[in-house]
Amino acid sequence: MMATSTTVLESMGKPAAAIAFPAERLANSAAEFAEVAARYRPQIFRFLLASLRDPDAAETLTQDCLLKAHRNWASFRGESSVMTWLLRIAINLQKDHWRSRRLQFWKQTASNSVDADDAGNWLPSGESSPEQQVVAKDQVRQVWRTVKNLSERQRTVFMLRHVEEMEIHEIAQAVGLSEGTVKAHLSRAMVRVRAELGGKR
């Protein structure tokens, strides 16, 4: 009997995001896609939420991303991991979203975008002391402030690297850039983060 995608991933003992689905297993199967969607949906949502800071827009774009992925599921050849492929779709949708927002600048568009300072409040309480919590929240706010002012591409690369913890080559595949360009964007973003956090480099 043919193993499901999950079984394949689990049998390889690696994180799902790092594994490419074998092409022969990627038949145009609704059941398979449903499993993929259920597995990766939270991650896509998280990336879009971090990029847009708007939960409603992130949810809508997540739905759009999965819908688009479902339509193109048959054409997915497994050359990259499913997650990289899905993130590439999400990045394109996010670009379209920003573009349409820019075009609609004259409209009073309802936005639920969370302010960068408020976004820092979502720190889990954990086991740290109240003082450590305060310091941590302050750091998170500083990072958010920097990320907010990064260019769209730098922000995307930064989020993929430091939030989704993707490797450089995966980021390059997802954003459609060379590894060198990705490293350059990441480096510039890190310089600004360090500067915001008080570093000199």
Partner 1 sequence: MNPDRLKEQAEDVQVEAALRNFRASIHHWSEQEFARPRAIERTGWSRFQARFWRMIANPALGGTLAAALLITSVGIPVGIQHERAAEAARQAALDQQKKDLQQHLAEEEAKKSTAANTVDDGAFLDDVDSDIARATPDAMQPLASLMMDGPGNSSRR
Q: Which residues bind partner 1 (CB under 8 A)?
A: 42, 45-46, 49-50, 55-60, 63, 119-120, 122-124, 126, 136-137, 139-140, 142-144, 162-163, 165, 190, 193-194, 197-201
CB of 197 to partner 1, least distance (A): 5
Q: Quick one: 9 or 57, whose CB is closer to partner 1?
A: 57
Give the separation between CA 143 and CA 197, rounded to whole angstroms.
Answer: 7
With H, G, I as helix, E, B as strand and everything else as coil, classify residue 179.
Answer: helix
* Other beta carbons less than 10 A from residue 79's beta carbon: 10
Q: Quick one: 71 or 75, whose CB is closer to partner 1?
A: 71
Q: Quick one: 136 or 177, whose CB is closer to partner 1?
A: 136
- Asked if residue 118 lies in contact with residue 164, where contact means CB atoms within 8 angstroms, the answer is no
* Rounded alpha-carbon distances, angstroms, from residue 109 to 9, 59, 113, 158: 42, 17, 11, 27
CB of 157 to partner 1, least distance (A): 14
Q: Quick one: 79 or 138, whose CB is closer to partner 1?
A: 138
